[in-house]
Structure 1
Amino acid sequence: MDLSNKIKYYAIMRQVGQNLSLHKCKEENKNNINPIQPSKVLAVLRSKKIYLNNDPESLTLEDFFKKNNISYKLIELCPFCLIKNQYTELNNEYYKFHNHKICKDCAIDEVKLEVDIGEEFIEKLLNKFKDVNKVIDIFNIKNPINHPELTKYDTITGGKEDRIKNYKIDELNIPDELKEIIRKKKIRELLPVQTLAVNGGLLDGKDLVITSATSSGKTLIGELAGIKNLKENKGKFLFLVPLVALANQKYLEFYEKYKNIFSVSLRVGMGRLSEHKQDEISTDPNADIIIGTYEGIDYLLRSGKLNDIGTVVIDEVHSLNMEERGARIDGLIGRLRYLKNINNKNRDNKNNIQLIYLSATIGNSKELANFLNANLIIYKGRPVPLERHLIFAKNDYNKINFINEVVKKEFNKKSKQGFKGQSLIFTYSRKRAEYLANLLNTRGIKSDYYHAGMEYKRRREVERKFMSQKIMCVITTSALAAGVDFPASTVILESLAMGGDWLNPSEFQQMCGRAGRKGMHNLGKVYMMVELGKKYHAKMGNTEDEIAFKLLSSEPEDVIVEYNEDEELEQILASISFIDKYHKPAEYTKLKNMKLMGKNHDLNYIVETLNNYNMVELHNRHNKNKTMSTTKYGYSTAISFLYPKDAEKIRKNLRKPIMDLVGYINPFENLYIPPHIKNKISKVINTNIPSKFIDGYEIIKENVSKITDKELRENILIWIIEFDGMIEEDIILYFSKYILNLRANKKTPAQISKILYDNYNIQTYSGDIYSYLENSIKVLDAVERIGNIYNKKIGAEAKIFKENISNPYKKKKKND
């Protein structure tokens, strides 16, 4: 065919002696076929660019072209396109299909004949594997766990940094006691990221931003500086983490290591709910080593109770990106840097604070390091190689079967170091974590769940069982990705969602990084369990399969902080309180010069607003560099970590009875209709009832006449009678007070959950109740503080009620 004018030429090739010649030539032009002379065909061939398909039949023409002085170029065309009278040159971009090489469009068409998924998703798989059969097999194979050659997406290994010469422990300029502690852990030399940190000034007091994979040895970096500075009398060693669960783990780890040479304490914003007698845990702010959550340490700064700081390690600093906590972490860092600058100006070499920021995932690490005036250390390698696998499930049942197989297979293997393979399974909610753990146990998989709604002793029990390899897997929530330190060989992402949203790249990379531990495993593995077409609610734009590839190809997110007005009011109030305690007077210029990433509003406006709330008192306000101080109300608001508007909500409702006030400020909304009741009612009234009780109750009440089944009517009659005439807020307040009252009467979260089910046919989860009671204690802290200013009676009641909620067994123990 002449591609320039779509004219086709036909000829019969005959052997004449040693040569081929043209016979019975024809020309087809616009469906008209006419005979032409062979010489004309030869003339056309000589005048055009000739492309000869690189297949056996076409290659028989090469001698003919050469002997007739016809120039040609060999190309490769898609054979499937030729069948459709289309011409697609393959070049270097082709896809294997059986014994053929075909183009992308034909490859996509062949996959679509077998699997009903979107073209964009198919194209990404084809680009990855370059093999149509393999892509089809990924979806259709019955047991993908036994075919890693199909499921493996990639392997992440070390980088050029892994080839550097690492320091021996004996070569380091650190105290002998620390060398001995490290040797007891059978560590003889540093890991690459640790060596890079030493080269970057770690042992010379330099501030550092260190980005490195999870489990690559960042904790020891902090210890090297912190313990060295302690031994040189340069001040306390603070180690800050985002979550209570991780703070508890780090406290126990540091206590065991350093209890014979230093005092160690724990400071967290939560974790005060007592169920049983716990191990004695020091909370002394004057301890040599303090492990704490961001809020736990910031409370000490806002209240002026933390002095003589030498080293601060801020772990998971990418948490600055967290919507609800980013502003608070930014404010905390700003206050620590302010304290460092005060010491520098006063030439206080003894307390020249060294700040070390650790993170596994930062996109704009250079920008962040510049803002923090810190040296940047980037380690892109991994101490243990990481395989990432994609498993496609048709439904939830299919997904759970695959998880079952992975956990069993990994646990039956042992690493060279003698450790069985254990799995860490991430899912989207506490409810789901508990469900999966219970289900896997019924299938012979020894498993347990782990989330922030568990009491401290219960969490410790799960940690011990995992460390001693008595259980095969732990199921935890995606929200704990930055706070789970289980040495798992395998990570399973049961879902790619966290709560009601898809995972972001930072969260995903954090979870994947938990697989494989140096000294325990030769290889880490990640299994993404992807349900085709899955959405957890209608507002999710993408499906789970679409999100999977976005996450696999994602880069670390940039750290960006920008305050809204409430956040800026809280941070400026906290900073005024802080300066009031450490560097009086609190001047306008001091506030203005405090380094905060997220500042977004005019400082005069913020200060005047705080003054209008009666939280800040302004002095010489007409002076350009006016001074200010917190009022008692402002100080109480600052150390309670409240937005000013929320403090006002408490202040204006101090006349309410204490239980009503707590229920109003902190309502309990996690009430659910049991699935068996929900499903039956949905079927009867032909409407899908929401799982949340508050959302479903009104629909049930409107359709109660349609429910004629005696047993079903009895199940819901308690709701109709008990809540008749109540609006949504009344029902929520009713259950909030009911839970608080049960707790005051010595019931555990698990017992409260059972009572709610037995008495009201309402399903709750003990983890949600635990968190609710923890938050109620925080509310009572604030009510006590603000009440002591404006209503001492309610302040005293809040104190008593707080103690009763925290530990209702305390009086009984005193009498024992």
Structure 2
Amino acid sequence: MTFQVLAQADRSRIQLLPQSGDKVLFEGHLRLKDMPQGPRVFKFLVKKENEAERYLPPEDAMRLLRKAGAIYLVRGDSALEKRFMELLESYQLQYRFVQVCGHCLGQKRVTYVGRDAITYKGARICENCAAAELLREADFHHLSRPAKSHLARILKKRRSLDDVIGLLSLQRLEPELTRFDFIPASHEETGLPLDSIDLPGPLKELLRRRLTRLLPVQSRAISAGLLEGKSQLVVSATATGKSLIGEMAGIKNLLQGKGKLLFLVPLVALANQKYDQLSAYNELGFQTSIRVGTSRIRLGKKRKIVQSLNADIISGTYEGIDQVIRTKKSLGRVGTVVIDEVHMLEDAERGHRLAGMIARLRNAAPEAQFIFLSATVGNPGALAKQLNAALVEYEVRPVPIERHLIFSSGKEKRMLLRQLVAQAEKLISSTGYRGQTIIFTNSRKNCYNLAQAIPGAAAYHAGLQYPERKRIEELFGQGKISTVVTTAALAAGVDFPASQVVFESLAMGINWLNVHEFNQMLGRAGRPGYHDLGLVYILAEPGRRFSSGRGESEDEMALALLHGAMEDVAPEFSDEQQQEEVLANAVASRSRQELEKLHDLTLGLDDLDSALNSLERAGLVKGFEPTRLGAAAAAHFLTPDQTNLIAKRIGKGRSALEVAVELEGFEAIYLKFAEHISTKLHMQVSQRALHGSFLDLLSSSDLNQLERKIQRYCLDFVRDFLRCTCKESPYCGCVQKSISLSILDLRAEGKSPEEIIDYFSDRYGMYAYQGDLINYLDQMVRYLEAIGSVARVLGKPELAKEAEEWKKKIEGE
């Protein structure tokens, strides 16, 4: 039998492992003794599987070595190793040194390794042992299976287990280790010279101050017939110049007398921003206005902005323009409609209204040129066909982007955030811009906590008033703020030139981001003309879950999003959402034929007759024509269920204010001492005042363990808001209604939003954000208007008058 012997010196003895093929025949140990003729075998111990250890004559050891086809030495104790080599040489036995996996050797296995073996603690080990060791470490950190696979890929490439384990313990955060991928900047097409474009002279002269050559996507749009009036779906990355495509078409059509320009966006903040930008065309003799459903709450001086529908250029939100159509007001002659962020068709709450608004606009302005803009769409060809638009797609990224993935949690994240922000600030681009960071997190509380923990950072979220958000935008744009910490919910409204985007969380509220949202957000990293490289860091917490612990963990989601393909835009709306759009279409139609045309134009709608039957049962249409109640519901964006609720409550003699708060109560109220209570009672109490954990505490003996001041806050809250006798109390909804009515009463007394917040803070130890409170008061004004309209239709003029009086009180002086 042919066999070889593997030997390694281990301080006091030599380990021998005779092998035949891959099989270890037995384990032997030699002890050497110095003799006059040199080192010789003194003892030979043998251990075979399932047999007791036994000593054999020393001569058997030499006989074994002589018969071996090869003798391999593994580095070990140098002194004993030298003596063993002398023994072999004295018997003229050939040997050579080899490298084996030390982990395998410890398990009495022999795995030979080469120079490309994985290094670990100064030695080389085989891939199987490295993988097993990495798996143990990954299990200790609670990593998901996809995360383990990701680390295994890094290990295979890096060949250093120390480095990969160091990555888990945040000891080795080299870019080469954390980098998930690198998306290079593609070679950009050469844009067309501005002077070669057939634009009206005044527009060309105005544009010449900003540019001499169009960007590639703009040139593609021109080549695809933009200036010949062709409708287009333009899909290109953030900051590639899509907006100017709509502006060029719109201003050209205006100058040629074809009608006004509507530039529509999903958020009021974006509409305000766009209004400022479009006002630059006023010097061509045009008037610019805004249509966004401006807040009705009077708070003192506001900047005066034009809101006329007679303006030549209107910046608006989707709902702002749709409200005009739903109330049968005239938009005048429309020559161009630009709809930004058209992928919002997929939005679960507002997608149906965008789909309906697009259809109604296409019907109201059949000669208008429609320009749809989006940074990311999964099925651009199919969507373009549905929108009856030519597809202009430009996938080239002007700035390269690196995406990095780091597994971290708790305090580690804050340390990493400070480190990443500081690194970004030190980098100055070739155009002279210092690096700046946008950090996305999942809650407003985290916005503040993180902003306070990071020098030079500002919290930015929907709860802030518009002037405060505007101030932060301007300071960031001027480089006076290095970092903005914002919620994922505001991702579409963030328009900052950031070099770096960091995901502190991959959730929006308690729901994971989808691939589209994720790509929209990371697309904010690296702006052409500002930065040479965009950096994206995902700080994923292993094992972190939402929705009561179900579903994927954050480390799983990180890899799913990084590998994910863009979802198709294929809107599917609920029955009630479809009925709302059919009702709005019925209001906008003058015949059954026109209604059928509108139905076909509206993406995401199913059977027309089924929706009409449901609306007729609800008393909102008769045949295909809207009833007076239906017209009122459509004008105020009421769903059929909301309209039914208003009608029933009016029938039961409820006051206008009671009906309004039943439609929507104020819930964005928070406990100032939630963390203190949680620590004191060793239980988790939510910051949200209406959360079950706090409501349960109010009737618990644990309340007695708290300080007298906090007890007083809680008892005052119970006395003022937990007065109902409902069987399900305090989970019947009465607490929220009572709080909402209290807020509206305080507003009616003339208190400002700030004073209302101070009242809740002083009396109950609770707080709210001014932006949230203003938005709620504004919504109450709109609901009271809707209730007044429904009341008039139902022959309740007294209630309509009551609603009007309350509306004026809430609007303020």
TM-score bracket for the superposition, by shorter chain length: 0.7 to 0.9
Q: Is the 8 A contact 1:784 1:798 kept in 2?
A: yes
Q: 1:516 to 1:248 in 2, by over 3 A?
A: same
Instruction: Show CA shifts across 1:9-40 (max 9, x none).
Output: 89xxxxxxxxxxxxxxxxx99999xxxxxxxx
The DSSP-based 3-state class of the residue aligned with 1:611 is helix
Q: 1:759 to 1:593 in 2, by over 3 A?
A: closer
Q: 2:192 aligns with which of 164, 167, 187?
A: 167
Q: 1:593 offset after TM fit, Å?
A: 5.5
Instruction: Show CA shifts across 1:228-269 (max 9, x none).
Output: 121122222111111111111111111134454311111114
Q: Are residue 139 (structure 1) and residue 161 (structure 2) matched?
A: no
Structure 2 match to 1:503: 513
Quote the Cα distance in structure 2 between the aligned partners of 1:556 and 1:652: 44
Q: 1:696 offset after TM fit, Å?
A: 3.2
Quote the Cα distance in structure 2 between the aligned partners of 1:605 and 1:709: 58
Q: Are residue 546 (structure 1) and residue 552 (structure 2) matched?
A: no
Q: 1:79 to 1:308 in 2, by over 3 A?
A: farther
Q: Are residue 312 (structure 1) and residue 316 (structure 2) matched?
A: no
Instruction: Show CA shifts across 1:79-105 (max 9, x none).
Output: 855765779899999866567474366
Q: Is the 8 A contact 1:424 1:490 kept in 2?
A: yes
Give the unaligned 5+ runs of structure 1: 11-27, 33-44, 46-52, 57-75, 344-351, 619-627, 810-816
Q: Is the 8 A contact 1:168 1:188 kept in 2?
A: yes
5 Å-filtered alignment, 1:602-613, equals 602-613=607-618
Structure 2 match to 1:301: 325
5 Å-filtered alignment, 1:415-564, equals 415-437=429-451, 439-440=452-453, 445-564=455-574
Quote the Cα distance in structure 2 between the aligned partners of 1:308 and 1:88: 81
Structure 1 match to 2:660: 662
Q: 1:606 to 1:95 in 2, by over 3 A?
A: farther
Structure 2 match to 1:781: 785
The DSSP-based 3-state class of the residue aligned with 1:480 is helix
Structure 2 match to 1:276: 300
Q: Are residue 190 (structure 1) and residue 218 (structure 2) matched?
A: no
Q: Max radius of gyration: which structure? A: 2
Q: 1:742 aligns with which of 729, 746, 757?
A: 746
Q: Are residue 702 (structure 1) and residue 699 (structure 2) matched?
A: yes
Q: 1:671 offset after TM fit, Å?
A: 3.1
Q: Are residue 328 (structure 1) and residue 353 (structure 2) matched?
A: yes
5 Å-filtered alignment, 1:58-77, equals none
Quote the Cα distance in structure 2 between the aligned partners of 1:283 and 1:415: 41
5 Å-filtered alignment, 1:340-359, equals 343=366, 352-359=367-374
5 Å-filtered alignment, 1:153-232, equals 153-159=180-186, 162-185=187-210, 187-232=211-256
Q: 1:534 offset after TM fit, Å?
A: 2.5
Q: 1:645 aligns with which of 625, 641, 652?
A: 641
Quote the Cα distance in structure 1 between the aligned partners of 2:104 and 2:385: 55
Quote the Cα distance in structure 1 between the aligned partners of 2:608 and 2:112: 64
Q: Is the 8 A contact 1:230 1:310 kept in 2?
A: yes
Q: Is the 8 A contact 1:410 1:421 kept in 2?
A: yes
Q: Are residue 388 (structure 1) and residue 398 (structure 2) matched?
A: no
- TM-score normalised by structure 2 residue count: 0.81
Structure 2 match to 1:35: none
5 Å-filtered alignment, 1:738-777, equals 738-777=742-781
Quote the Cα distance in structure 2 between the aligned partners of 1:523 and 1:308: 44
Give the unaligned 5+ runs of structure 2: 4-18, 27-47, 53-68, 76-98
Q: 1:688 offset after TM fit, Å?
A: 3.5
Q: Are residue 730 (structure 1) and residue 727 (structure 2) matched?
A: no
Q: Are residue 630 (structure 1) and residue 636 (structure 2) matched?
A: no
The DSSP-based 3-state class of the residue aligned with 1:652 is helix
Q: 1:77 to 1:194 in 2, by over 3 A?
A: farther
Q: Is the 8 A contact 1:78 1:87 kept in 2?
A: yes
Q: 1:5 offset after TM fit, Å?
A: 11
Q: 1:731 to 1:169 in 2, by over 3 A?
A: same
Q: 1:589 to 1:763 in 2, by over 3 A?
A: closer
Q: 1:355 offset after TM fit, Å?
A: 1.4
Amino acid at match of 1:603: L
Structure 2 match to 1:124: 150
Q: Is the 8 A contact 1:90 1:103 kept in 2?
A: no
Quote the Cα distance in structure 2 between the aligned partners of 1:94 and 1:589: 71
Identity in percent: 35
Q: Is the 8 A contact 1:415 1:520 kept in 2?
A: yes
Q: 1:260 to 1:198 in 2, by over 3 A?
A: closer
Q: 1:265 to 1:95 in 2, by over 3 A?
A: farther
Q: 1:259 to 1:325 in 2, by over 3 A?
A: farther
Amino acid at match of 1:406: L
Q: 1:596 offset after TM fit, Å?
A: 2.6
- TM-score normalised by structure 1 residue count: 0.81
Amino acid at match of 2:417: I
How many residues align structurally?
Answer: 736
The DSSP-based 3-state class of the residue aligned with 2:481 is coil
Quote the Cα distance in structure 2 between the aligned partners of 1:535 and 1:683: 26
Q: Is the 8 A contact 1:501 1:540 kept in 2?
A: no
166-175 or 717-726: which moved more?
717-726
Quote the Cα distance in structure 1 between the aligned partners of 2:119 and 2:381: 43
Instruction: Show CA shifts across 1:100-150 (max 9, x none).
Output: 474366335236347523343122133246223332222224584xx4343
The DSSP-based 3-state class of the residue aligned with 2:577 is helix
Quote the Cα distance in structure 2 between the aligned partners of 1:428 and 1:378: 32
Amino acid at match of 2:183: I
Q: 1:537 to 1:90 in 2, by over 3 A?
A: farther
Structure 1 match to 2:61: none
5 Å-filtered alignment, 1:571-610, equals 571-579=581-589, 584-587=590-593, 590-591=596-597, 594-600=600-606, 602-610=607-615
Structure 1 match to 2:16: none
Amino acid at match of 2:700: N
Q: 1:717 aligns with which of 711, 715, 731?
A: 715
Q: Is the 8 A contact 1:88 1:103 kept in 2?
A: no
Q: Is the 8 A contact 1:682 1:689 kept in 2?
A: no
Quote the Cα distance in structure 1 between the aligned partners of 2:782 and 2:573: 23
Q: 1:218 to 1:706 in 2, by over 3 A?
A: closer
Q: 1:78 offset after TM fit, Å?
A: 7.5
Quote the Cα distance in structure 2 between the aligned partners of 1:288 and 1:88: 79
Q: 1:470 offset after TM fit, Å?
A: 2.2
Q: Is the 8 A contact 1:167 1:195 kept in 2?
A: yes
Q: 1:248 aligns with which of 268, 272, 276?
A: 272
590-599 or 525-534: which moved more?
590-599
Quote the Cα distance in structure 1 between the aligned partners of 2:722 and 2:331: 53
Quote the Cα distance in structure 1 between the aligned partners of 2:603 and 2:348: 14
Q: Is the 8 A contact 1:363 1:557 kept in 2?
A: yes
Q: 1:687 to 1:736 in 2, by over 3 A?
A: same
Q: 1:31 to 1:176 in 2, by over 3 A?
A: farther
Structure 2 match to 1:39: none
Q: Are residue 152 (structure 1) and residue 152 (structure 2) matched?
A: no
707-716 or 563-572: which moved more?
707-716
Q: 2:619 aligns with which of 614, 622, 625?
A: 614
Structure 1 match to 2:428: 414
Q: 1:751 offset after TM fit, Å?
A: 3.0
Quote the Cα distance in structure 2 between the aligned partners of 1:384 and 1:463: 22
